[in-house]
């Protein structure tokens, strides 16, 4: 009898699996609690052979599925596709008891079998390809892998918005195919768009870098690629448009300390000025919501100015949902609610108090890992204690199930029903991953060393702990890649090598292997050293204490370079910047390439750049500082602007007033480019206002005289002024290549405490050797020329601002005189 009961329950589980499209043999082993929940909420199957119930379904509202569980789909209004989503969701929620509602508030929603509602696992990840992190996605049997792109920090270095969009589109196609096969969910908690405020942060590899505008553009494109259904990119009611998959911008907000000495992310209180909050920390999220139409936001563990973010109604419901007109659900970083009670002990709250706080602040979904979600465990008692209203629960469920309606969980989406295993790891997808790595590679130094001519080289010494790296290339939040091409695999196809590792691993705690690497360099015609960091040095929950290469890596590089017979090429794998001043200054190290964590085909991309099959055009998305930076300013100082009284030099290219190793936006090429303007030597714009209420004060430098109306608040001011100009890019060298044209805004020189400059536009363009290409730019003046004042008002300063085209040598500029008409 016991055996029969077990067989019955296992067969029943095949009716609706976590994505309810898996057969029993494909499903990951459920935990006992999950089995109990499933058995408790599903009705008994129809009489007849048990095998007749073992079918796969990709949507809730499938007549055959309802029949299989003994229900008639016509009895359930929420399955009526002729009705608006909102009406259907209202019907669905209205059918649940309070206990059933609460069971849907965690990331492993239990479903309600008596009304035909399937369970759902919300947590999937797709940071740079479909990941195996989370409860909903797994690899095995028919889906052995998915395309693993470079980590975002390297992809961002391409400065190529169309590439970011394409990666999102390919990732969502593979995700949708995996969902059809029962291997994935439809809701992906990616991308990570936090900013790299401090170079020690361990999660730099996951992000688009340090600039809020660039991070915002990355978010917009990646999210659009993940979500947009062709033909439905815009709708009168954006909450009704279908979604290919759901994307989530995280971690909101001011989250960039993981584990630095005695400061860890679970209890860190980010003391942030309103100016920095508006100008830097929340701007990428605002762009993600307003321009990308993201359907999810994740709130972070940390506190901001004494309040846990997930419990801050001003940051959550007021800002995200009301001010930004957000259409979607807000989810906690996993165990954030538990952290409030058990780690932070905020306000000495009970578990029920914490549930009430976050739900009223706007948190819709509670991710619990490794703990059980607080919502599922304590919401019923919070209601019983009068701390939570059932209407609050209904509102959270509405936000959740509106998104599941839009992604086709209930009805499927016809355009994607045919996707399957043949749409995962295609040759085209793998080539896109390779090209993304190539486009992101940054040439940091080149003394006429690269590209190497493989036909003339003969023997090459191949040295370093990353020569045969594979898993390190895909970083964190990765899945199982389609395949790996290591640097060794690719380089040995080009030349004969003498491989000596030098260091057994990245930690490089022993010098024993260095002498063998030195001897190899003595006899080879060229030496390639591949070194850097890995997830044992920089990662989630692991910030760095310095910016140096680990162990004896620097000695390995110096000793090998000193002994080398031929030219030396150094390749660095890392997410954050590394102080390699010694290599930059070493006369025998002729070239340095930063390769980030380049994804599954990273070795091929590195080889293509070294041997001239590809001309590098990447630019650094974050500043590389010298190691003395870590002795000047503590990681926990959140202020972006310099603090002169403490000797703090400021942060990021916008405010740092010291000397850097490599600046933001830096990168070399195998060719040379020149810019010329085709119009606009100078320009002026006039902003019309009908009241001085739009005038705001502006911080001015000493001895500067402020006009009667020094700046205009543009938050609610209609403004359609544009700055248009064309730039011609000439390739004056002998090799085809891509150039990244960066456009910066410099505020009027009399303004105090303003950014040194800030990025307002960029385009990547391919230009053949001796060729020319024209780029057109159109800047919204009331976005491009803005400053955030100390009062946190977003203003356009009056006077002469400067538009700078380029970054460093060869840059050109013109002034824009902003005038006022009252």
Nearest to 601 by CA among 453, 424, 427: 427
Cα angle, residue 452 at apex, residues 533 and 767 outer, rounded to 5°: 90
Crossing angle (nearest 10°) for helices 390-406 and 351-361: 60
Exposure string (b/e) for 190-204, b if CB count within 10 Å is 16 or more? bbbbbbbbbbbbbbb
Rounded distance between C-alpha atoms, residue 71 and residue 68, angstroms: 7
Rounded distance between C-alpha atoms, residue 659 and residue 657, angstroms: 7
333 part of the active site: yes
86, two tokens? 């909102």
416, two tokens? 């994607």
Q: How many CB atoms lie within 10 A of CB 447?
A: 12
Query: DSSP code of 771?
Result: -
Contact indicator for 397, 105 with CB cutoff of 8 Å: yes
Contact indicator for 516, 479 with CB cutoff of 8 Å: no
Q: Are strands 799-805 and 812-821 parallel, antiparallel or unpaired?
A: antiparallel
Query: DSSP code of 328?
Result: S
Cα dist. 740→23, 50, 195, 205, 755 in Å?
49, 62, 21, 21, 22
Place of tokens 């008409």: 821
Contact indicator for 106, 334 with CB cutoff of 8 Å: no
Chain length of the chain: 822
596: left (phi over 0), alpha (psi -120 to 50) or beta: left
Which residues lie below 8 Å from residue 348, measured CB to CB, with a gap of 6+? none
Cα dist. 424→130, 168, 172, 175 in Å?
10, 14, 10, 8
Rounded distance between C-alpha atoms, residue 271 and residue 252, angstroms: 15
Crossing angle (nearest 10°) for helices 283-290 and 212-227: 30
Exposure string (b/e) for 365-393, b if CB count within 10 Å is 16 or more? bbbbbeebbbbbbbbbebbeeebbeeebb
Rounded distance between C-alpha atoms, residue 117 and residue 697, angstroms: 56
Contact indicator for 124, 189 with CB cutoff of 8 Å: yes
Q: What percent helix, strand, coil does the chain show, rounded to 5?
A: 35, 20, 45
Handedness of CA 630, 635, 640, 644 (dihedral sign): negative
Rounded distance between C-alpha atoms, residue 154 and residue 474, angstroms: 11
Nearest to 226 by CA among 252, 238, 244, 208: 244
Reading across the β-sheet that carries 812-821, which strands appear in turn?
A: 682-688, 812-821, 799-805, 737-746, 758-767
> Out of 228, 293, 312, 333, which one is annotated catalytic?
333
Give the H/E segment covering residue 445.
strand 442-446
Distance from the first to the final alpha carbon of the chain: 87
Rounded distance between C-alpha atoms, residue 276 and residue 640, angstroms: 7
Which residues lie below 8 Å from residue 770, measured CB to CB, with a gap of 6+? 731, 732, 734
Query: DSSP code of 133?
Result: -
The catalytic site residues sit at 333
């Amino acid at each position: 009898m016991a055996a029969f009961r077990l067989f019955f329950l296992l067969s029943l589980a095949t009716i609706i699996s976590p994505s309810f499209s898996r057969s029993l043999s494909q499903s990951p082993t459920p935990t006992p609690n999950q089995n109990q929940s499933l058995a408790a909420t599903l009705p008994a199957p129809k009489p007849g052979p048990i095998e007749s119930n073992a079918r796969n379904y990709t949507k809730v509202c499938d007549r055959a599925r309802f029949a299989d569980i003994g229900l008639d789909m016509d009895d359930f209004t929420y399955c009526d596709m002729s009705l608006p989503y909102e009406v259907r969701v209202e019907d669905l929620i209205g059918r649940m008891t309070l206990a059933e509602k609460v069971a849907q508030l965690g990331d492993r929603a239990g479903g309600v079998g008596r009304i035909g509602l399937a369970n759902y696992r919300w947590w999937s990840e797709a940071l740079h390809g479909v990941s195996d992190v989370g409860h909903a996605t797994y690899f095995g049997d028919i889906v052995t892998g998915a395309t693993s792109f470079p980590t975002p920090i390297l992809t961002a270095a391409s400065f190529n918005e169309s590439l970011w969009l394409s990666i999102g589109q390919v990732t969502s196609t593979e995700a949708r195919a995996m969902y059809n096969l029962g291997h994935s969910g439809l809701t992906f908690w990616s991308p990570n768009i936090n900013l790299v405020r401090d170079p020690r942060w361990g999660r730099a590899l996951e992000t688009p870098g340090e600039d809020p505008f660039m991070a915002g553009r990355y978010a917009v494109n990646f999210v659009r690629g993940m979500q947009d259904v062709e033909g439905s990119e815009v709708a009168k009611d954006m909450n009704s448009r279908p979604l290919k998959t759901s994307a989530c911008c995280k971690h909101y907000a001011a989250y960039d300390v993981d584990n630095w000495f005695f400061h860890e992310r679970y209890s860190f209180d980010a003391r942030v000025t309103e100016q920095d909050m508006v100008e830097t920390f929340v701007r990428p999220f605002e762009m993600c919501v307003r321009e990308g139409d993201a359907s999810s936001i994740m709130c972070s563990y940390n506190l901001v100015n004494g309040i846990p973010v997930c419990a801050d109604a001003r940051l959550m419901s007021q800002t995200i949902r009301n001010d930004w007109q957000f259409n979607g659900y807000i989810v906690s970083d996993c165990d954030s609610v538990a952290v409030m009670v058990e780690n932070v002990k905020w306000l000495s709250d009970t578990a029920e108090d914490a549930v009430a706080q976050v739900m009223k602040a706007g948190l819709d979904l509670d991710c619990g890992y490794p703990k059980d979600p607080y919502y599922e465990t304590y919401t019923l008692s919070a209601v019983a204690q009068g701390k939570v209203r059932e209407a609050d629960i209904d509102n959270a469920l509405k936000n959740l199930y509106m998104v599941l309606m839009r992604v086709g969980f209930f009805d499927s989406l016809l355009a994607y029903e045919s996707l399957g295993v043949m749409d995962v790891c295609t040759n085209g997808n793998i080539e896109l991953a390779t090209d993304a790595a190539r486009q992101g590679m940054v040439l940091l130094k080149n003394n006429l060393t690269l590209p190497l001519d493989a036909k003339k080289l003969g023997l090459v010494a191949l040295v370093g702990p990353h020569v045969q790296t594979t898993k390190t290339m895909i970083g964190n939040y990765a899945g199982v890649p389609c395949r790996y091409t290591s640097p060794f695999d690719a380089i040995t196809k080009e030349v004969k090598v003498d491989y000596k590792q030098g260091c057994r691993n990245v930690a490089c705690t022993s010098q024993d292997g260095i002498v063998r690497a030195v001897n190899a360099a003595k006899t080879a015609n060229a030496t390639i050293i591949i070194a850097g960091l890995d997830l044992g040095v920089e990662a989630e929950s692991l910030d760095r204490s310095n910016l140096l290469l680990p162990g004896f890596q620097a000695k390995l590089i110096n000793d090998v370079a000193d002994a080398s017979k031929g030219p030396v090429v150094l390749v660095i794998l890392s997410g954050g910047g590394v102080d390699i001043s010694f290599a930059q200054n070493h006369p025998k190290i002729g070239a340095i390439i930063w390769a980030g964590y380049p994804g599954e085909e990273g070795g091929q991309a590195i080889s293509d750049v070294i041997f001239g099959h590809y001309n590098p055009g990447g630019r650094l998305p974050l500043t590389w500082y010298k190691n003395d930076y870590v002795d000047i300013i503590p990681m926990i100082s959140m202020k972006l602007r310099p603090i002169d009284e403490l000797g703090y030099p400021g942060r990021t290219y916008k405010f740092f007033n010291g000397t850097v190793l490599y600046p933001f936006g830096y990168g070399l090429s195998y060719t040379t480019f020149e810019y010329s303007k085709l119009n606009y030597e100078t320009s002026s714009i006039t902003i019309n206002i009908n009241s001085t209420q739009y005038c705001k004060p502006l911080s001015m430098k000493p001895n500067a005289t402020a006009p009667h109306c020094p700046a205009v608040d543009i938050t609610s001011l209609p403004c359609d002024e544009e700055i248009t100009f064309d730039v011609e890019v000439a390739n004056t060298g002998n090799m085809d290549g891509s150039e990244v044209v960066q456009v910066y805004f410099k505020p009027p020189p009399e303004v105090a405490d303003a950014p040194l400059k800030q990025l307002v536009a960029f385009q990547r363009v391919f230009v053949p050797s001796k060729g020319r290409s024209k780029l057109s730019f159109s800047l919204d003046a009331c976005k491009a020329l803005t400053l955030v004042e100390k009062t946190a008002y977003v203003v356009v300063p009056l006077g002469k601002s400067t538009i700078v085209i380029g970054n460093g040598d060869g840059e050109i500029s013109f002034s824009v005189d902003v005038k006022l008409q009252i």
